[in-house]
Amino acid sequence: MKNIFLKTIAIFLIIGCGKYVAQSQNFKTKNPYYSRTLTAPLQVSNTEWKKILSPELYQVAREGATETAFTGKYYEFDEKGTYYCAVCGNALFLSTSKFATTCGWPSFYQPVRSNSVKYRKDTSHNMVRSEVLCGRCGSHLGHIFDDGPQPTGKRFCMNSVCLDFVPNSKKQAEHLK
Positions marked catalytic: 157
SS3 (DSSP) at 137: coil
In DSSP notation, 30-73 reads H-TT--SS--SPP---HHHHHHHS-HHHHHHHTT---PPTT-ST
**143 φ/ψ sector (left φ>0, alpha ψ -120 to 50, else beta):** beta
